Amino acid sequence: MGMMTFSSITFFNFSSYFTSLALLTSFYSIYFVLISANVSGFDSLIQLLPPSASLRNAIRKSETIFRVDDFGAVGDGFTDDTNSFKDVWHMACSSPSRSKIVIPTGYVFLVRPINFGGPCRSKVSLRIEGTILAPKDPEVWNGLNPRRWLYFFKVKHLTVEGGGNIDGMGQEWWARSCKVNRTNPCHHAPTALTFHKCNNLKVRNIKLLNSQQMHLVFNDCKHVAVSKLVILAPADSPNTDAIHISSCTKVNVKDCTIGTGDDCISIVGNSSRIKVNNIVCAPGHGISIGSLGKSNSWGQVYNVHVNGAFISNTENGVRIKTWQGGSGYVRKVTFKNVWMENVSNPIIIDQYYCDSMEPCANQTSNIGIDKVSFVGIKGTSATEKAITIACSDSFPCRKLYLEDVQLTSFSGDYTTSFCWQAYGSTSGLNYPPPCFPCNDNILRPTVSSNWIRSI
């Protein structure tokens, strides 16, 4: 384990000590004056103190800084720096004061699969200014969990930021994928960055590149804020979803630029109160809810609000996808103010989804889809069918709503809508003409502003 340098730790300062001592002396003098004056409550005392004298603010400013290079990390892109990362995490997570781990700019740190486990004694922030690099060779994962590379578990109040890079070096994984070459066996591949059971989490201002499979996964997390991410991988890289949200609640994703070989954002089972704003998605598979119901499983997604996106040259635009045979529901979803450019399937609900090497058997679907709105979806479609809503025979889609949807052909031809077991209402000018068999005579679905303000 490396030694901490003078720049890496907060030191005792005699000047600050005597200033604090004088402050506390004044504090207690005022306190006893208030007691003798029979002034009730502690708030009155706090208000008499200047803002700079707040003990709470002083505590917040106390932060211990740990640099990975102080713990032996070389950062030349060839030397294995995994143990240095383990050591610095152990020190930061066990620190009684707020801690910041710095991955300095100008360095490339080669890191094997690693777990960053909590709970920690205090709040931790990870500042990635340089680059974290994955091993190229998939054999490094032999005997380890093949789905993980950088894995955070049960860490509360974590912040990950810094403007640096996380590079999954996924090229060899993609070459071995059965989706690239059907003669290859189908195997799992790692997610570059996983947060599992991490609450009150912030991830912002970092770049994720070329993940082995999914780039960023949130699983069973609450109160998550994601912003200003750049996530990039080739359009033909298999299963490289950018942001994957599973079993989470109160997640806010905004101001992200994404281009990968799969969903730009995917929201799956048991997730709720998800807010997505100002997303660029090009290329990729669009913004998706699902898939749900695989292998006859149960899942629910509700209270999802997407407002503001630019989607270009993708396989899908905004999509809900479920497998036959599953159960559960998708409810209270709004896609709003989305601009499409040369997008295949700009609006699609597919309850016959089948991502399998073999044809999927016809089964009864018990996944209900209702109260889904498409508002202000405009631009150009790469396919004739700009709107496809194919719902379950046993559970038709209900209370769908289209308002001011304008999707013309990128090539200058005409566009059409297709509906199956889909019922809803429309408002404003819509093209192509909606295909609902009748107007449900329902009011426009609304999204409660209370839960939006709470995330």
Q: What positions carry a catalytic annotation?
A: 262, 285
Tell me the C-alpha distance between 156 and 154, whole Å: 6
Tell me the C-alpha distance between 195 and 215, whole Å: 11
Strand partners, 158: 124
Tell me the C-alpha distance between 330 and 299, whole Å: 9
Tell me the C-alpha distance between 62 and 46, whole Å: 20
User: Would you state the structure tokens that stand for residue 434, as one six-digit string?
Assistant: 């909606």
Asked if 372 and 445 count as a contact pair (C-beta separation under 8 A), the reply is yes
